[in-house]
Amino acid sequence: MEQETVLDLFRKSGALLEGHFRLSSGLHSDRYLQSALVLQYPEFAEALGHALAERNRHLQATVVLSPALGGIVIGQEVGRALGVRAVFVERQDGAMTLRRGFGLAPSDRVLVVEDVITTGGSAREVIEVLRALGNKPLAVGGIVNRSGGNPFEKDGLPLFALADVEVKQWKPAECPLCKAGGRAVKPGSRGAGAALPATGGGRA
């Protein structure tokens, strides 16, 4: 799957938003990729999961591990395409942890899968959970990488993404949209409803 094909799925589903956003990292941005909107369509989710699985098939993973909530759907689709288990970690008392009876053995070959990688923070928390269990992840996979590089290079892990997207982002004190009098909204909040799909939206 080519990068433009991936982004076209985001556009068709209204998942590529423009506006003034406050990201989970605390940074502000003028564009936001809301992967839940593209993954709500099973045929889109299946196609993206299959494409990401093909990028990582050579690693021979035995388990796909994703962070809740955003990584669950794409993790499930990658696991289905690879024919392996797909499990997830979730936050409990402020820390990511493996719950719900999920188990991993040190011998498991684990592929970490995220939806959109911005700073890599969520995926890195997953990596820390793995290492605490005595397991070394194989790599990190994502639908879109908007970090501008590989945030996991220091961890010695390759990053496989279907699309690399450059999105402007600023610290709040340096945000030109704030200086122009705009108010940043958290994507998915009621205030973010004013954001418009980059190409007019609508599923084709």
What's the gap between Cα 74 and its chain centre? 8
Residue pLDDT, tens place only, 31-50: 888 899 999 999 999 999 99
Q: What distance in Å separates the CA atoms of residue 47 and residue 61, rounded to the nearest whole number?
A: 19
Q: What distance in Å separates the CA atoms of residue 162 and residue 1, rounded to the nearest whole number?
A: 7
Residue 1's alpha-carbon distances to 56, 143, 149, in angstroms, are 13, 11, 20
Give the per-residue pLDDT at 193. 39
Q: What distance in Å separates the CA atoms of residue 155 and residue 106, rounded to the nearest whole number?
A: 18
Segment 123-134 shows an average pLDDT of 90
Contact 38, 44 (CB under 8 A): yes
Within 10 angstroms of residue 125's Cβ, the number of other Cβ atoms is 17
Neighbouring residues of 185: CB distance < 8 A, sequence distance ≥ 6: 19, 20, 21, 22, 191, 192, 194, 195
Domain total of the chain: 1
Segment 147-163 shows an average pLDDT of 93
Does 203 fall in a domain? no
pTM: 0.81
Least Cα distance to 95 among 64, 65, 132, 58 occurs for 132
Between CA 106 and CA 74, with CA 138 as vertex, the angle to 5 degrees is 105
Does 36 fall in a domain? yes
Range of the domain at 81: 3-188
Give the per-residue pLDDT at 188. 60
Give the per-residue pLDDT at 80. 97
Does 122 fall in a domain? yes
Higher confidence at residue 172 or residue 103? 172
Give the per-residue pLDDT at 16. 86
CATH of the domain at 9: 3.40.50.2020
Does 55 fall in a domain? yes
Does 200 fall in a domain? no
Query: In a 3-state reduction of DSSP, which class is residue 176?
Result: helix
**pLDDT band, residue 201 (cuts 50/70/90):** very low
Buried b (16+ CB within 10 A) or exposed e, 126-162: bbebbeeeebebbbbbbbbbbbeebbbeebebebbbb
Higher confidence at residue 187 or residue 178? 178
Residues of the chain with pLDDT > 90: what percent?
61
Q: What distance in Å separates the CA atoms of residue 84 and residue 71, rounded to the nearest whole number?
A: 16
Is the preceding peptide bond at 111 cis, omega within 30 degrees of 0? no
Give the per-residue pLDDT at 93. 83
Question: Is the per-residue pLDDT at 75 higher than 90?
Answer: yes
Does 202 fall in a domain? no
Does 66 fall in a domain? yes
Does 199 fall in a domain? no
